[in-house]
């Protein structure tokens, strides 16, 4: 969990909360190699980087990076 949270904070900023990091952890099934790709896809699609939006979009968006 700590490695995913660290990656999220480096990409999004220190304002990223624990819920957002947890949503990224869930969406990537704990694979820290997928976190940067997930964040890039979400950002490119204009998805708001908040926990609720990550969980809602992860199934579709991760299909693009797997």
Residues 11-42: tens digit of each pLDDT: 888 877 788 888 888 888 988 889 999 889 88
pLDDT of residue 66: 45
Tell me which residue has tokens 């990223």.
16
Q: How far is CA 53 from the centre of its chain?
A: 10
Residues 38-49: tens digit of each pLDDT: 889 888 888 777
- Vertex 35: Cα angle to 61 and 31 (nearest 5): 105
- Token pair in block for residue 33: 């190699």
pLDDT of residue 45: 84
């Amino acid at each position: 969990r700590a490695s995913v949270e660290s990656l999220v904070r480096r990409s999004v900023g220190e304002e990223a909360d624990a819920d957002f990091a947890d949503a990224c952890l869930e969406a990537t099934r704990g694979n820290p190699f997928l976190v940067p790709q997930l964040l890039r896809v979400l950002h490119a699609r204009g998805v708001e980087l908040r926990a609720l939006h990550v969980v809602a979009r992860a199934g579709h968006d991760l299909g693009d990076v797997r």
